[in-house]
């Protein structure tokens, strides 16, 4: 018995778990347990108090968040169709922008395409209409020219207002020219050149006596000007198509408010 007691004491001394730093593994301190339980109680009470203090509006918003997330992850059929058409429009417009810069496939023809676009600009048409109005000596000619001038001014104001509302940029980052800034044609939607050539072609077809070849050339000129705006990367395809529609609507508006010969003479005398 006396020999076994020193052996057991030696075993207890050599046991690693009996050291002071490992006592918490076998016998956790009561103070730590009490502090942990008290901290848990305090955190539970604080959470309950916070839940009571939350407003009903915040609770409703928190309940609605998953539904909003589901709405964003599962868009409607109209949203999917609109985004798909928009992506197709951007892709096709970029493919047709063969003269967007000098490094493009048709970069050498950029100056020619720009010259074709200038034929549909508002400033040359307004200047030419004013010159013809000054040199005109017939009442019928002055009446047509005055209404043409009204149509050109309305086109500039309507297109500028629509572009300011839409603020859509073109498929390529192209800085507008000086003539574009003068007519406030700085955005892409709708295409100002397309609306102008559509309105002019319809105006001339209705109020001028032209042969069939000239009528065909007039329509082809309007289509080529609209295509040129896509080729230089200034507008999307939908911008040009919407410009044609707005140009036709502007022509109908001018026909409704057509100024008579007496009104034109009064304005010319002023």
Active site amino acids: 193, 235
Yes or no: say if 143 and 260 are a contact pair by the CB < 8 Å rule: yes
Yes or no: say if 240 and 226 are a contact pair by the CB < 8 Å rule: yes
Cis? peptide before 214, omega within 30° of 0? no
Cα 212 to Cα 44: distance, rounded to the nearest angstrom: 89
The count of other CB atoms within 10 Å of the CB of residue 162 is 18
DSSP-derived secondary structure letter, 19: S
Q: Any residues with CB less than 8 A from the CB of 242 and at least 6 apart, and which?
A: 189, 190, 191, 194
3-state helix, strand, coil in the chain (%, to 5): 75, 0, 25
For every residue of 40-58, DSSP letters joined together read: HHHHHHHHHHHHHHS-HHH
């Amino acid at each position: 018995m006396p020999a076994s007691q020193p052996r057991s004491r030696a075993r207890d001394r050599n046991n690693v778990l009996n050291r002071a730093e490992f006592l918490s593994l076998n016998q956790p301190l009561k103070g730590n347990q009490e502090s942990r339980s008290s901290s848990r109680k305090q955190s539970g009470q604080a959470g309950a108090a916070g839940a009571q203090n939350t407003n009903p509006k915040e609770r409703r918003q928190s309940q609605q968040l998953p539904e909003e997330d589901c709405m964003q992850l599962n868009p409607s059929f109209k949203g999917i169709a609109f985004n798909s058409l928009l992506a197709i429009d951007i892709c096709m417009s970029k493919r047709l922008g063969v003269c967007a810069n000098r490094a493009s496939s048709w970069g050498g023809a950029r100056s020619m395409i720009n010259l074709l676009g200038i034929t549909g600009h508002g400033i040359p048409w307004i200047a030419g209409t004013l010159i013809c109005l000054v040199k005109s000596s017939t009442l019928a000619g002055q009446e047509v020219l005055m209404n043409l001038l009204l149509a050109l001014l309305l086109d500039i104001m309507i297109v500028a207002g629509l572009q300011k509302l839409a603020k859509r940029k073109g498929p390529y980052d192209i800085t507008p020219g000086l003539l574009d800034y003068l007519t406030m044609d700085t955005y892409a939607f709708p295409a100002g050149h397309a609306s102008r050539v559509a309105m002019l072609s319809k105006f001339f077809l209705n109020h001028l006596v032209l042969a069939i070849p000239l009528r065909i050339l007039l329509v082809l000129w309007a289509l080529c000007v609209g295509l040129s705006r896509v080729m230089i990367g200034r507008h999307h395809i939908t911008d040009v198509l919407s410009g044609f529609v707005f140009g036709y609507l502007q022509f109908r508006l001018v026909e409704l408010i057509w100024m008579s010969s007496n009104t034109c003479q009064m304005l010319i005398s002023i």
